[in-house]
Amino acid sequence: MSGNFSRFLILVLSIAVFGAGAVRADTVELKEGHPDRYVVVKGDTLWDISARFLKSPWHWPRIWKINQQIANPHLIYPGDVIVLTYGADGQPMLSVQRTEKLAPPTTETLEGAPPTTETMGDGRTVKLSPKVRVESLESAIPTIPPAEIAPYLSKPLVVGKTELDQAGYVTIGLDDRLILGAGSEFYARGINSREEEYKIFRQGDELRDPETGKVLAWEAVDLGDARLLEPGDPAKLVIIAARQEIQPRDRLLVSPKQEALPYYAPRPPKTKVRGWILAAENAVAEIGPNVVVALSVGRKDGVEDGNVLRIMRHAGKERDPVTRRRYMLPEEESGLLMIFRTFDEVSYALIMSATQPIHINDAVITP
């Protein structure tokens, strides 16, 4: 996993970043009350540390000063001290002070040191060569808390019409059972793969564009997991995990391969993007930080994993006290989110910060 951290942070530090709101894109502003030094602790994220120093956390790479005299100068570890200084031009700089240079775990023999002996419990005498244990640094810190998004990386989340039409489906359980649970064996049709592991899902709510009314996708309700026992038509499977009751007509997709948890380089989309928040985790009325939301923009709109978008509060209309006519209030920025999983026409994002409650149908735009 440390290799993923390395690739992630090296990429972050090489990306040209951007500003938001009324601040110019090339302006870096320090946060009021910022510290001059900060000791990194386990559980920190790069986003959180950046937010201690900067008004716009994604400006971190603009002022990061690489110290080539320390091991892994691109990476930040628990125990590192982040120090704020100023250059000759008066611009702020952040750098790391590290008291130890530690290598990957290994055991090396000390050259020239005399051997020693040790008597074992069975009376044998064993000759020992002096060795030094070199400990490794702890894993570098991630951008955002991995646990917040991990559950959303291993299931379908949404399906399009093509995926629904091509997905296999449950027909009947053994002994003609209609309600299936963990351990139940069942038959299914439309299984055209010999893969062993499958996700069982049910078509959920439509995700519609609030402006055009177009159905962008359907949410996929995660019902459980199944393992293929016998291929064919029908195929025979067994349910190895059930999160809800499983019934005939429920659908099956091949389970995604288990891979190392990805880490993201925060950056703006390459093109101007405007979309909407379509749904939120647990369908909450008011949304805040660390909540996962579905958006009406996807790969077809040019968005990618790691893109940061501004959230714009939809204030609606008010009545003019003089003319008595209703007029539209302007949108106001209410937070930031980072996209972590994209599909063709929708994507999923984690809300990173919020200055006021966020709601379904609030807009999201390129910073």
Residues 124 and 90 in one domain: no
Lowest mean pLDDT among 44-48, 209-213, 352-356: 44-48
Residue 324 belongs to some domain of the structure: yes
Give the pLDDT mean for 39-68.
81
Residues 217 and 283 in one domain: no
Those residues with Cβ within 8 angstroms of residue 322's Cβ, 6 or more apart along the chain or in another chain: none
Q: What percent of the chain has pLDDT over 90?
A: 34
Residue 146 belongs to some domain of the structure: no
Instruction: Name the more confident of 72 and 113.
Output: 72
Give the pLDDT mean for 198-221.
91
Domain range for 212 is 155-254
Residues 72 and 7 in one domain: yes
For residue 5, name the pLDDT band (cuts at 50, 70, 90).
very low
Residues 281 and 249 in one domain: no
Q: State the Cα–Cα distance between residues 150 and 340, nearest whole angstrom.
A: 10
Residues 195 and 286 in one domain: no
pLDDT at 160 over 80: yes
Please tell me the predicted confidence (pLDDT) of residue 166.
87
Give the pLDDT mean for 191-205.
90
Residue 260 belongs to some domain of the structure: no
Tokens of 302: 């040019």
Residue 314 belongs to some domain of the structure: yes
For residue 57, name the pLDDT band (cuts at 50, 70, 90).
confident
Q: State the Cα–Cα distance between residues 5 and 310, nearest whole angstrom.
A: 26
Alpha helices in 129-170 (DSSP H): 146-149, 161-166
Lowest mean pLDDT among 217-221, 265-269, 344-348: 265-269
For residue 8, name the pLDDT band (cuts at 50, 70, 90).
very low
Residues 71 and 130 in one domain: no
Tokens of 153: 């990386």
361: left (phi over 0), alpha (psi -120 to 50) or beta: left
Whether omega for the bond prior to residue 234 falls within 30 degrees of 0, making it cis, is yes
Give the pLDDT mean for 317-328.
87
Please tell me the predicted confidence (pLDDT) of residue 71.
65
Considering Cα of 217, then 219, then 225, then 226, what sign does the dihedral take?
A: negative
Q: State the Cα–Cα distance between residues 240 and 183, nearest whole angstrom.
A: 6
Residue 206 belongs to some domain of the structure: yes
Q: What is the pTM of this model?
A: 0.68
Residues 181 and 109 in one domain: no
Residue 148 belongs to some domain of the structure: no
Nearest to 222 by CA among 268, 188, 253: 253
Burial status of residue 95 (CB atoms within 10 A of its CB: 0-12, 13-18, 19 or more): middle
For residue 48, name the pLDDT band (cuts at 50, 70, 90).
confident
Residue 295 belongs to some domain of the structure: yes
Residues 91 and 110 in one domain: no
Out of 66, 81, 97, a domain closes at 97
pLDDT at 104 over 60: no
Please tell me the predicted confidence (pLDDT) of residue 350.
92
DSSP 271-282: S--EEEEEEEGG
Residue range 229-283, pLDDT digits in tens: 999 999 999 999 999 999 999 999 998 776 666 667 778 888 999 999 999 877 6
Residues 178 and 117 in one domain: no
Give the pLDDT mean for 96-121.
50
Please tell me the predicted confidence (pLDDT) of residue 261.
64
Q: What is the DSSP letter of 23?
A: S
Residues 107 and 92 in one domain: no
Residues 223 and 166 in one domain: yes
- Strand, coil or helix: what is 164? helix
CB 195 within 8 A of CB 228: yes
The residue with tokens 């910060």 is 353
CB 12 within 8 A of CB 360: no
Q: How many folded domains does the chain comprise? A: 4
* Residue burial 282-291, b: 16+ Cβ < 10 Å; e: rest: eeeeebeebb
Q: How far is CA 202 from the centre of its chain?
A: 24
Residues 247 and 318 in one domain: no
* Residue burial 318-343, b: 16+ Cβ < 10 Å; e: rest: eeeeeeeeeeeeeeebbbbbbbbbbb
Q: State the Cα–Cα distance between residues 311 and 25, nearest whole angstrom.
A: 17
Q: State the Cα–Cα distance between residues 325 and 336, nearest whole angstrom.
A: 33
For residue 223, name the pLDDT band (cuts at 50, 70, 90).
very high
Out of 254, 283, 304, a domain closes at 254
Residue range 123-154, pLDDT digits in tens: 555 454 444 333 344 577 777 777 778 778 77
Nearest to 248 by CA among 194, 190, 207: 190
Give the pLDDT mean for 354-361.
90
Residue 145 belongs to some domain of the structure: no
